Amino acid sequence: MRRRLMAAVAATVAGLLTLTACGGDGGGAAQGTQGGGGEKKVEVFSWWTGPGEADGLKAMREIFQKNNAGLEFFDAAVAGGSGDKARALLTTKLQAGDPPDTFQGHAGAELQGYIKAGQLEPVNFLYDELKLKEVFPQQLIDQISVRGDIYSVPVNIHRSNVMWFNPGVLKEAGVAEVPKTIPEFVTALDKVKKAGKVPLAIGSEWTMVHLLESVLLGSLGTDAYNALWTANADWSGPAMTKALNDFKTVLSYAGDPADDWQPAAKQVADGQAAFTVMGDWAYGYFHNPPDGGLGKKSKTDFDWAPSPGTAGTFMWLSDSFTLPKGAPNRDGAVAWLKVAASKEGQDAFNPKKGSIPARKDADTSLYTDYLADALKDWGSNKLAGSIQHGVVVNDAWRTAINEAVGLFHEDKDVAALQSSLAEAAKNSGQ
């Protein structure tokens, strides 16, 4: 499976490079050059193309255009949940000495490879100019700093460990209580299966790693999960064996993998499936009007709870933007970073994206329904970092975990999976 996946990614990158060479977003001018109307283009590279996330990007783009006459926003977004395809193309561009003006990256360990390769400029000057250390949580600043330098501007906070479910499907299956533990979850999945619906909707391979991190957190507990990313980590012990067997059991109730997280979430919203475990960007997709989402009603068409066993812990990640060395339009990139950092930009972006602001001074009245819950939990819960979304592992380690899970999806061999994960941790260099 992994060989087929990597071949597909390679083909995708080749195709994307061809498209990029031809220009995009309606323009064929090279980045950093004048557009058709005399504006200087700013290439913003992300993976926000789906409903909800694209709406949020559009809202920030409108602020950028309003505040920066003479600069033209060039949307270089690459489709694909979690950004695997985007990062593959980005690596190719950076190695070729052709960086975008700014690119999206998950705050945390994911950026370490770019920093070690000397591909990013520190943005301390922006934090000083905009007084960002006063408005961003200290724990977030610590996570995006390396030896005292800060390398990205976070635009949001996401929660990874969210279980989305269809209340009607649970009622039909005789599931009276929302499952709070992994054993309760397995019982509920079994009832849904016997009722003839898909118990658990999943997407492509990365969504299985996303599921794995929630199961690890729920099975091991917060302290043991957080210890996995320390020098004293125990990937080979009996607690990990139990957690991986829990993962095997949960995954056995999954339906056929959808192309990505959106069609998997839609199965839940449409009443075809009972559950999906996905980050809270799914809220924007469920909730936003039909021109950018599914237009579903919360607490009726869909509902949410912490993934089983994880109540009281906020598994977090943060989307951020960077300043690449050699950016063709560095001034334009800095102008974009200022919008991403601003209260106006974050309050325009996050309610549509299904995330909460990284800033502490955002307008809380804009964050209702699920987002109000997330704001409250972010301020009160224990914290754990996401695997798939780059907080606790660098790209090489995450790739090794993805490969191990991909093989496991085929052979269901817990011992082989545990051995591969232990080896990946040993070789992480983190």
Alpha helices in 198-280 (DSSP H): 205-220, 222-227, 238-251, 261-269
Residue 358's nearest CA partner among 119, 155, 64, 62 is 155
Contact at 8 Å (CB) between 409 and 1? Answer: yes
Each residue of 382-404: pLDDT tens digit?
999 999 999 999 989 999 999 99
Q: Is 14's pLDDT higher than 80? A: no
Query: What is the per-residue pLDDT for 34?
Result: 57
Instruction: Map out the domains of the chain as residue ranges.
Output: 2-156+319-365, 159-315+389-426
Query: What is the per-residue pLDDT for 352?
Result: 87
The Cα 303–Cα 242 span in angstroms is: 29
Was domain 159-315+389-426 assigned CATH 3.40.190.10? yes
The Cα 153–Cα 135 span in angstroms is: 12
Share of the chain above pLDDT 90, in %: 76
Each residue of 107-152: pLDDT tens digit?
889 998 999 999 999 999 999 999 999 999 887 888 778 889 999 9
Q: What is the mean pLDDT of residues 53-67?
A: 94
Each residue of 137-195: pLDDT tens digit?
887 888 778 889 999 999 999 999 999 999 999 999 999 999 999 999 999 999 999 99
The Cα 290–Cα 14 span in angstroms is: 33
Q: Is 237's pLDDT higher than 90? A: yes
The CATH code for residues 2-156+319-365 is 3.40.190.10
Each residue of 85-99: pLDDT tens digit?
888 899 999 999 999
Cα separation values, 258 from 53, 190, 267, 425, Å: 19, 21, 9, 29
Query: What is the per-residue pLDDT for 317?
Result: 95
DSSP class of residue 148? Answer: T
Residue 311's nearest CA partner among 159, 414, 168, 205 is 159
Contact at 8 Å (CB) between 243 and 220? Answer: yes
